[in-house]
């Protein structure tokens, strides 16, 4: 029996004005998918290694991912779908990774549509197991079209290969034992930014201990608490509990138990992080002991689809005359070109940001000195760069939209985060490599397509009521 393997990942932020094009995806096909060493900590690597290790013959289809961004253009979605299905006729089952938060033009729950397209292509008897990100949006169609679903158990995500392996082990049981498990699924009228639900802090830590307890029950194959992607305005969304088990009653009862536990703690999640409006966040950071203090410009986070060109927090930082600060990964192609034209040491008068996400701030006029010019490799892309010093604040500007996720990226440019009092990241919760350097990390509730106060965003499509948009939302396990 041959099993199709694939990985398609996009986090679509419908509040971003920047559409995601086919050209934004990095695509691998065929045998390149089987080079798991090149994939690193990746769900597809876990799937491939586990299935191949068990002697299963694989049909590698497509591996495609792009930096989170706006709505996926229809032709890009159609090409992803075609890539997933083109070798389906050779396979008798599928074990794939989908991020789970893709929204395409005319296809609101794109991942569910992909799973159902695969079901149609493979037929009703073929086993389908799906590994997914914790920030996806599972739907009833997805549950109906798959046999098994398993999401990451950690945020920040440090178990990507392990999640792929867990999905692959369910696939092996289906192949060897002829097992066809049931999926229990409960969706809550609730959404939170991922920032409020780190698995290494409370209350999410307790929820994940319950997930582990459920997974250890006889007859249960896997349990997942899937936190949805907060920044897409789609009708059918919400935090979900998914349990895969032998028998529908067991699966549904345990999914309901997990959902109820999350609902019970719903008011505790926002208290789990130190977060303030921008001015207060800057004041707290300036007054904090030691350095570097990390300040997340959380409303403009490119790893969740922000444009990274919202200048609001930078403007407040300059107005406060912060003495020593580094601002990482600010996207402004015009400013980078101006810096490169002027050269290192030159004085440049320009504007920063407000050119793509015009809804969340106007271009900020600045005069600064060019400190460095370089090129760099970043999370899913490279770019020409410039470091512009504006009254004590070093701003790392990029010509392409990038995400700075590792201090090594800065050090290669000669920027040492430890030398600054404040390091501003266009990020939500810090990636683990930055967390390790930080004496304190503070979330600035800044504006942008990834605003962590969801009541500040113009939701129109999502099914109401949903918390926190509707403060008095009720739910019962019924």
| CB nearer Zn ion, residue 132 or residue 188 | 132
| CB nearer Zn ion, residue 135 or residue 426 | 135
Site residues for Zn ion, 165-194, by CB under 5 A, read none
| CB nearer Zn ion, residue 87 or residue 426 | 426
Minimum CB–partner distance for residue 440 and Zn ion (Å) = 24
Region binding Zn ion by CB under 5 A among candidate stretches 22-30, 133-141, 299-307, 366-374: 133-141
Region binding Zn ion by CB under 5 A among candidate stretches 26-34, 109-117, 128-136, 196-204: 128-136
Minimum CB–partner distance for residue 182 and Zn ion (Å) = 26
User: By CB under 5 A, is residue 111 in contact with Zn ion?
Assistant: no
| CB nearer Zn ion, residue 420 or residue 429 | 429
Minimum CB–partner distance for residue 133 and Zn ion (Å) = 4
| CB nearer Zn ion, residue 196 or residue 420 | 196
Minimum CB–partner distance for residue 159 and Zn ion (Å) = 11
CB-based closest residue to Zn ion = 135
- Per the listing, tokens 């792929």 go with 164
Minimum CB–partner distance for residue 157 and Zn ion (Å) = 6
CA distance 332 to 339: 11
Give the CB-side neighbour count of residue 324, counting CA atoms within 13 A. 12
* Per-residue contact string for residues 436-465; x = within reach of Zn ion by CB under 5 A: ------------------------------
Minimum CB–partner distance for residue 339 and Zn ion (Å) = 33
User: By CB under 5 A, is residue 133 in contact with Zn ion?
Assistant: yes
**Strands 364-378 and 347-352, sheet pairing:** antiparallel
User: By CB under 5 A, is residue 24 in contact with Zn ion?
Assistant: no
User: By CB under 5 A, is residue 195 in contact with Zn ion?
Assistant: no
| CB nearer Zn ion, residue 154 or residue 324 | 154
Question: Under a CB-based contact definition with an 8 Å cutoff, are residues 7 and 63 in contact?
Answer: yes
Minimum CB–partner distance for residue 110 and Zn ion (Å) = 16
Region binding Zn ion by CB under 5 A among candidate stretches 125-133, 357-365, 372-380, 434-442: 125-133
User: By CB under 5 A, is residue 257 in contact with Zn ion?
Assistant: no
| CB nearer Zn ion, residue 15 or residue 152 | 152
Residues 135, 187, 401, 426: which binds Zn ion (CB under 5 A)?
135
Minimum CB–partner distance for residue 273 and Zn ion (Å) = 16
Minimum CB–partner distance for residue 379 and Zn ion (Å) = 13
CB neighbours of residue 120 within 10 Å: 12
CA distance 476 to 399: 49
Which residues would be at the binding site for Zn ion (CB under 5 A)?
A: 133, 135
């Amino acid at each position: 029996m041959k099993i199709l393997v694939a990985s398609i990942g996009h986090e679509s932020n419908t509040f971003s004005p920047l559409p995601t094009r086919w050209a934004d995806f990095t695509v691998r096909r065929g045998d390149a998918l089987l080079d798991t060493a090149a994939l690193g900590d990746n769900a597809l690597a876990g799937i491939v290694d586990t299935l191949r290790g068990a002697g299963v013959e694989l049909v590698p289809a497509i591996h495609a991912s792009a930096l989170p961004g706006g709505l996926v253009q229809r032709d890009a979605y159609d090409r992803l779908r075609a890539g997933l299905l083109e070798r389906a006729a050779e396979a008798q089952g599928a074990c794939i990774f989908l991020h789970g938060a893709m929204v395409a033009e005319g296809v609101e729950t794109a991942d569910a549509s992909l799973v159902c397209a695969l079901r149609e292509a493979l037929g009703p008897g073929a086993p389908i197991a799906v590994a997914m990100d914790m920030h996806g949006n599972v739907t009833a169609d997805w549950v109906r079209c798959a046999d098994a679903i398993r999401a990451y158990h950690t945020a920040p995500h440090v178990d990507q290969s392990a999640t792929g392996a867990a999905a692959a082990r369910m696939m092996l049981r289906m192949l060897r034992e002829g097992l066809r498990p049931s999926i229990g699924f409960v969706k809550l009228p609730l959404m939170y930014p991922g920032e409020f639900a780190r698995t290494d802090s409370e209350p999410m830590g307790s929820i994940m201990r319950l997930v582990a307890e459920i997974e250890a029950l006889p007859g249960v194959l896997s349990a997942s608490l899937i936190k949805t992607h907060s920044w897409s305005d789609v009708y059918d969304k919400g935090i979900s509990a998914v349990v895969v088990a032998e028998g529908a009653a067991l699966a549904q009862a345990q999914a309901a138990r997990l959902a109820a536990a999350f609902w019970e703690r719903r008011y505790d999640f926002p208290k789990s992080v130190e977060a303030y409006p921008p001015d207060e966040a800057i004041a707290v950071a300036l007054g904090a002991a030691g350095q570097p203090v990390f300040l997340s410009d959380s409303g403009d986070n490119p790893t969740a689809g922000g444009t990274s060109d919202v200048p609001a927090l930078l403007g407040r930082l300059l107005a406060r005359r912060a003495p020593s600060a580094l601002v990482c990964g600010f996207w402004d192609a015009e400013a980078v070109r101006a810096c490169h034209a002027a050269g290192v040491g030159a004085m440049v008068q320009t504007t920063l940001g407000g050119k793509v996400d015009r809804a969340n701030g106007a271009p900020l006029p600045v005069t600064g000195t060019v400190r460095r010019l370089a090129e760099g490799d970043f999370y899913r892309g490279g770019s020409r760069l410039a470091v512009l010093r504006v009254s004590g604040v070093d701003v790392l500007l990029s010509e392409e939209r990038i995400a700075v996720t590792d201090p090594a990226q800065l050090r290669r440019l000669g920027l040492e985060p430890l030398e600054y009092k404040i390091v501003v990241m266009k990020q939500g919760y810090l990636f683990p490599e930055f967390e390790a350097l930080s004496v304190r990390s503070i979330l600035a509730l800044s504006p942008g397509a990834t605003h962590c106060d969801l009541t500040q965003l113009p939701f129109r499509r999502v099914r109401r009521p949903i918390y926190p948009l509707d403060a008095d939302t009720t739910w019962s396990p019924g």
